[in-house]
Structure 1
Amino acid sequence: MSHIHATKSFTNPFHLSLKNLQVVDKQAEPIYYIGVDVGTGSARAAVVDQTGAILGLAERPITRHELKANHITQSSTEIWDAICYCVKTAVSQSHVDPSKVLGMGFDATCSLVVVNEKTDEPMAVGPDFDDNLEDIILWMDHRAETEVNEINATHDECLKYVGGKMSIEMELPKMKWLKNHLPKDSDGESLFNQCKFYDLADFLTHKATGSETRSFCSTVCKQGFIPEGITNRNGWSSDFLNKVDLPELVEDNFRRLGGAPGINGKYLSAGETVGSLTEAAAEALGLTTDCYVGSGVIDAYAGWIGTVAAQTETPIPDLVEQDKNLRGMAKATGRLAAVAGTSTCHICLDDKAIFVEGVWGPYRDVMAKGFWLAEGGQSCTGALLAHVLSTHPAYTELGVASEASGASRFDYLNTRLEMLKKSTKERSVVALAKNLFFYGDFHGNRSPIADPTMRASIIGQSMDVSLDALAVEYLAACEFIGQQTRHIIEKMEAAGYKINAIFMSGGQCRNGLLMRLLADCTGLPIVIPRYIDASVVFGAAMLGAVAAEDALKNRKGATVKSRRNSAVSGGTDPVPDQPPSPYTAPSATASMTSISALGAGNTQTTYPFPTMTPIEDETKQLGNSLDNSEDEEEQTLSFGTKNKAQATASKNFLSQRGRGSTFSSYTSNSTTSAGDKLWKVMNDLSGTGRIINPSSPNDPDRKLLGTKYKIFLDQIQTQQKYRQLVAKTEEAIQNYLSI
């Protein structure tokens, strides 16, 4: 079921001062970019300038329906309407002339959109086949269990490049389910024969430009497409599709999927130009046809784009040494992006194909031609912490206590742990959980075991149900997230990756305790980006910045404006002003919309972390109201919702970067690859993030966490051993009963 919520958006109170602070080429007019992010529960749009400052940000909820168990749908019509609202609102807030917005990028969940091939209108995907507005099968829909098993039983070579087998969340199993279940029309023909299919991000670029161009990101990562030169295939495989009983997708050189590369289909890496906005799209978005759209990506990959090029106030030696001999996109190697939310995706790039058991990929050409990406993941991280808190008997007491203190539940628990350390005279906060062995795969394991049957196990619990006991269990759950991250990284490095730093994004960055544990468990520096909550939509805007280069080259003499432009550029703001959200992360950078007067808190290197900086009561109240949002996607994270996104920036942001007129445009010579253009944009716009370095290897907490990592691995092996013993017993029982 879905909830409808009031729309929350952020009005930038600093837009007047920004005009004086932007550093641009005096010979060039300022240009702007828009990023659009479509998550599971909301659509967002951000306006970004040439310094990487977010000048306007708006968000609107989108609904999802589950009329039948495991059948979860959305509407592309509703999503497009929400995008149009958010873009218009964000532009209005930014007080930017819409004719100066020359680039736009989209990211979205990896959901399947189905439209009528002849009319381009939405088609129903069930279970209610009479409702054509419900034309999206959401990524989390699990209806295609039979179909995914049949696909994986083929052991086709394309499965090698999606982690060995397709996930039920990928798109081809959903297409196969539709073939098996779509009804016939009045002429007795299956409606499946009328369908064409898009990944949601590709549908949005199609809606914006009218182009049938598809992205390598969606087709390679989720649909079994193999780029040219990897095998003897070039794109889609007719043998494979016929083998899984989908000959309809082979017809006319795979036209329903986007076509055959170089024949009737075009496939692009991230940010490469798809085309300019159509007049209809420009009108709907309040922009102009001078705005060019970059090839889109799946949302987690936009998080990679928005984080891994961040500078740090203190250089990371391993990255500095690595970068000496590298140029362009090659500098992104060695940087692991951890895109954290309800679950966490771990994305890493390399110039060679590296296969890691239990990790999806490697995927070539997704981010840049010739480069490979791998994607690991934790099934639940934010959801895990929410579960630990909400199922504990002291949860209600925690809510009352945290509200009374004016802190989030997590900040309150971090402070409570420090008090508990003092009262028990324990050596450190970490030592409070030294005899609690928490293995947290409540929802199965995505990486690196890739075993959906894995479950949680907790050793060392007592009958204590106090608030202090909850605090220690929460500490153990945070430790588990850190230990499992180490497990994933060790598997990746054993296979051939060299990882020098972890670049985080998402509201979990605000949890100083969790960030410290991640650093100490993995032994790697953790980089907190310039935008905590907006790194994904920020990454989408970078795609637009790459496309804007073609907009500048091809800009018309007379700009074609939508009829709405005069109203928007007049500065009318349809959304009431709201105060900025508080910066509550003691070890993270602030989430920011623009270059403001507030500085970031100091990075801490010891346990615990102070709860928050002083803030005004009105701002506190806004933060609390947003924390209490009923959005199902965000309920699992109380670190700070997406709506609390852009609070403040470092005062000295421009002086730290000191790049002057390089912000004016991204014009490159003809020999510069598209991937290198994207890296330049990422490098120029990302700004400075905070760094949390791990403690010394001789630190007592590091030693304790190292020992507990061995216990963590033993818990995995023991659970697998126990399952095998039970399975053998059950098999013997069945054999006995069948005699």
Structure 2
Amino acid sequence: MTAQQYVIGVDFGTLSGRAVVVRVGDGAELGTAVHEYAHGVIDRALPDGTPLGPDWALQSPDDWVDVLRNAVPEAVSAAGIDPSQVIGIGTDFTACTILPATRDGIPLSALFPSRPHAWPKLWKHHAAQRHADRINALAAARGETWLPRYGGRISSEWAFAKGLQLLEEDHELYSRADRWIEAADWIVWRLTGVETRNVCTAGYKAIHQDGGYPSREFLAALDPGFVSFTDKLGHDLAPLGGLAGTLTAEAAAWTGLSEGVAVSIGNVDAHVTAAAADAVRPGQMVAIMGTSTCHIMPSDRFAEVPGMCGAVRDGIVPGLWGYEAGQSGVGDIFAWFLDTGVPTSYQAAAGGAGLSLHEYLTGLAEAQAVGEHGLIALDWHSGNRSVLVDHDLSGLIVGQTLTTRPEDVYRALIEATAFGARVIVEAFETAGVPVEEFVVAGGLTKNTFLMQTYADVLRRPLSVIRSQQGPALGSAVHAAVAAGAYPDITTAAAAMGGRDIAAYRPDPDRADAYDELYALFIRLHHQFADGAVMHRLREIRNTASAVTKKESPAL
């Protein structure tokens, strides 16, 4: 290894893809570029105008390839390096973002562009909830041993629920789909010409445990046509940090890199961020906070934690159990409120002060004492991933009066997400899996008030990742291992990653005040956890929406 070697990490997000050029020797980030997806999130209609139903969320594979064509060469140019010095490239993706493809890797959306099920289903596609409910009910009735590994319920966001939806709503496309493949693996296939499947997405999103998927008997009991579903998933799983292959001539032309550059095995954006924070040891929980939050933690102990998203051997780093939990909505809850709940007078005041609306509301909220707004909110606006695993739940705010102001609601929503994080931490510790350090990463780390609120609510210090682009840096760390520059992920993370330890510490008085509010949050959490009210409201909404679309097809 020399100081003149570089690797590239590419992070495929919800709305854009980011590439970063990283020096192998010390993890210095020398150049970065972002490419916005032309299609963004496809959630109302396909590009040709074909309408979509409620809770759909799709993406376009063309957008992902455009990231390779644009962001990678732009990042190399910004870094001012010779492309021949790049020895490896690594990628990460949102998950479960999954697509049907032919045996040659051609997305079915390229062949059937007017059929919704031909397109990749984004991680936040929640239209398969009833299919997830059936999977959970059958697994519980049969006593399937894999179910407790996922906290007792699998999610509508995952591979099996989305696959069952494809089968039952478009059987022809299901038959034509030789592959049901995570975008994390599909993009590596495009880069190398070699199909691989990574242990991370298979374990957390495709119910792969103890060397196999759910049995054919279980699948047949769900639907006889589903019996061979796992043949579409791939059975030979590759370890994280492994070498998937090398850049093809076509991929080299896209990226401006040399043919033959090492490409690491695919990974998930949240899981790979642990390496960027150098938080790959037992008990280091990394909360990757953006539109949603994913909680990732390696551990040397195994336990079945209620409501987690999975416990997977080797799922974050080889040799340790990897745990995942999460909150379906965090930053997008705050964005929703700014888009829909703030009067123009506040927008004008923010502009007059030279502040963004987020900054303006944060300042007003921060000036309040704990509990001054008189509100408690549930952070379920995009459902609940952990610990209830129910994406048909919805948000709730209690305590509003005619004197409630936008900053009150804004602060209550911030606190709600912190309370949700505390529920997750307590679930782990109650199950005997200690959280030794809470590390935060992602775009929301820029909001110092939010970070301090989390420290106060959690009653523990927060460490903060040093990089502002954790997934991309983490992918670069994995690329360095795949290229042979380091022997393993832990060694590479220590050299290339980093965090500021205990950057935020809890204030004892505020922490005491939040304990009382948290107790009220838990009462609401338990009261509405069965979903009786929220599920019925969703059913009424969907029925009314269907009637409106039928009567007004132009909509």
Same fold (TM over 0.5): yes
1:448 paired residue number: 387
1:32 and 2:20 aligned: no
Contact 2:150 2:309 in 1 (8 A): yes
**Matched ranges for 1:14-53 at <5 A:** 28=2, 30-50=4-24, 51-53=26-28
Which runs of 5 or more structure 1 residues have no equivalent in the other structure? 1-24, 185-189, 229-233, 261-265, 310-328, 422-428, 550-664, 669-676, 728-739
Match of 2:376 in 1: 437
- In the alignment, which residue of structure 2 is the partner of 1:167? 155
Quick check: 1:68 aligned with 2:17? no
* Cα separation, 2, equivalents of 1:688 and 1:477: 27
Is residue 41 of structure 2 the alignment partner of residue 55 of structure 1? Answer: no
Partner of 2:482: 547
How far 1:87 moved relative to its partner? 0.9
Correspondence for 1:491 among 427, 433, 441: 427
> Taking structure 1 as the reference length, what is the TM-score of the superposition?
0.65
Structure 1 position 522, deviation (Å): 0.7
Deviation at 1:55?
1.3
Note the C-alpha offset of 1:723: 5.4
Are the aligned partners of 1:526 and 1:691 in contact in 2 as well (CA < 8 Å)?
Answer: yes
CA contact (8 A) 2:100 2:177 kept: no
Q: Is the 8 A contact 2:292 2:330 kept in 1?
A: yes
Offset at residue 152 of structure 1 (A):
2.8
Aligned 8 A contact 1:436 1:476 in 2: yes
Tell me, yes or no, if structure 1 residue 142 matches structure 2 residue 81: no
Q: Are the equivalent residues in 1 in contact too, given 2:455–2:504 (CA < 8 A)? A: yes
Deviation at 1:686, TM superposition (A): 1.4
Once the 2 structures are TM-superposed, how far is the Cα of residue 288 of structure 1 from its aligned partner? 1.5
Report the equivalent of 2:105.
120
One-letter amino acid matched to 1:240: F
Q: Pick from 437, 461, 466: which aligns with 2:400?
A: 461
Is the Cα–Cα contact under 8 Å of residues 114 and 125 in structure 1 kept in the other structure?
A: no
1:350 aligns to what? 299
Q: Which amino acid aligns with 1:92?
A: S
The question of whether the paired residues in 1 share the 8 Å contact of 2:98 and 2:181 is answered with yes
Mapped partners of 2:287, 2:221: distance in 1: 36
The Cα offsets for residues 641-680 of structure 1, whole Å up to 9 and x where unpaired, read as xxxxxxxxxxxxxxxxxxxxxxxx42x4xxxxxxxx1011
Using the alignment, how far apart are the partners of 1:277 and 1:407 within structure 2?
A: 44
Write the distance in 1 (CA, Å) between the matches of 2:346 and 2:306. 40
Amino acid at match of 1:85: N
CA distance in structure 2 between the partners assigned to 1:432 and 1:544 by the alignment: 49
Q: Specify the alignment match of 2:544 in structure 1.
A: none
Question: Cα 1:444–1:527, aligned 2, differ >3 Å: closer, same or farther?
Answer: same
Match of 1:481 in 2: 417
Aligned to 2:491: 680
Whether the 8 Å CA contact 2:379–2:420 is kept in 1: the answer is no
**Equivalent pair of 1:410/1:511 in contact (CA under 8 Å):** no
Taking the aligned partners of 1:497 and 1:401, their CA distance within structure 2 comes to 47
State the partner residue of 1:502: 438
Q: Could you tell me how far apart the structure 2 residues matched to 1:173 and 1:431 are?
A: 40
* Partner residue in 1 for 2:408: 472
Structure 2: how far apart are the matches of 1:472 and 1:270?
Answer: 44
- Mapping of 1:600-619 within 5 angstroms? none
Cα distance, 1:546 vs structure 2: 0.9
Which residues of 2 match residues 290-439 of structure 1 at below 5 A? 290-309=260-279, 332-392=281-341, 394-417=342-365, 429-430=369-370, 432-433=372-373, 435-439=374-378
TM-fit CA distance, 1:250: 4.0
Q: Which of 678, 688, 691 is the aligned partner of 2:502?
A: 691
Deviations 1:195-223 (A, max 9, x none): 22211001111111122221011111111
1:217 matches 2:153: no
Q: Report the Cα offset of residue 96 of structure 1.
A: 1.4
Which residue does 2:463 correspond to in 1?
A: 527
Aligned to 1:257: 233
Structure 1 vs Structure 2 CA RMSD: 2.9
Q: Conserved in 2, the CA contact under 8 Å of 1:44 and 1:83? A: no
Q: Aligned letter for 2:295?
A: H
1:517 aligns with 2:453: yes
Q: 1:703 aligns with which of 502, 505, 512?
A: 512
1:200 partnered with 2:188 = no
* TM-score using structure 2 length: 0.85
How many residues matched? 519
Q: Is the alpha carbon distance of 1:116 and 1:443 closer, same or farther for their aligned partners in structure 2, counting shifts above 3 Å?
A: closer
Is the 1:519–1:692 contact (alpha carbons within 8 Å) kept by the matching residues of 2? no
1:85 and 2:20 aligned: no
> 1:172–1:495: structure 2 CA closer, same or farther, 3 Å change rule?
same
**CA deviation after TM superposition for structure 1 residue 451, in Å:** 4.2
- Aligned-partner Cα distance in 1 for 2:480–2:531: 53
Q: CA deviation at 1:350?
A: 0.9
Structure 2 residue aligned with 1:712, among 508, 521, 524?
521
- In structure 2, how many angstroms separate the alpha carbons of the residues matched to 1:333 and 1:37? 25
**Cα distance change, pair 194–200 in 1 and its aligned pair in 2 (3 A):** closer
CA distance in 1, matches of 2:346, 2:513: 28
CA shift, 1:516, in A, is 0.7
Per-residue deviation at 1:108? 0.9
Letter in structure 1 aligned against 2:257 = L
2:90 touches 2:478 (CA, 8 Å); kept in 1? yes
Structure-2 change in CA distance of 1:308 and 1:473 (3 Å): farther
Q: Shift in Å at residue 72 of structure 1?
A: 3.4
| Partner residue, 2:217 | 239
SS in 1 for 2:419: helix
Q: C-alpha displacement at 1:35, in angstroms?
A: 0.7
String of CA shifts for 1:187-245, please: whole Å, max 9, x gaps. xxx771452221100111111112222101111111122243xxxxx456443344444
Larger radius of gyration: 1
SS of match in other structure, 1:37 = strand
- Percent identity among equivalent residues? 28
Q: Deviations over 1:42-70 (max 9, x none)?
A: 12211111221221111112214333114
CA contact (8 A) 1:163 1:359 kept: yes
* Structure 2 counterpart of 1:470, one-letter code: P
1:445 and 1:121, CA in 2 relative to 1: closer, same or farther beyond 3 A? closer
Partner SS state of residue 407, structure 1: coil
Q: Residue 541 of structure 2 aligns with which residue?
A: none
SS of the counterpart of 2:89?
Answer: strand
One-letter identity of the residue aligned with 2:122: L
Distance 1:431 1:192, change over 3 A: closer
Which of 242, 247, 261 is the aligned partner of 1:277?
247
2:124 and 2:530 mapped to 1: Cα distance?
30
**C-alpha distance in 2, partners of 1:271/1:286?**
23
Kindly provide the amino acid, as one letter, of the partner of residue 300 in structure 1.
A
- Amino acid of the structure 1 residue aligned with 2:489: L
Distance in 1, Cα, partners of 2:354 & 2:501:
25
Work out whether residues 340 and 382 of structure 1, in 8 Å CA contact, stay in contact via their aligned partners in 2: yes
1:94–1:137 distance in 2 versus 1, CA, 3 Å: same
Deviation at 1:287, TM superposition (A): 1.1
Q: Deviations over 1:416-463 (max 9, x none)?
A: 356x56xxxxxxx33533x33333433432222334454444343321
User: Greater relative contact order (Cα 8 A, min sep 6): structure 1 or 2?
Assistant: 1
Distance 1:546 1:61, change over 3 A: same
Q: Go from structure 1 to structure 2 and tell me whether the alpha carbon gap of 1:103 and 1:722 turns closer, same or farther (over 3 Å shift).
A: closer
Counterpart selection for 2:94 from 109, 128, 149: 109
Instruction: Answer whether contact 1:38 1:109 (CA < 8 A) is retained.
Output: yes
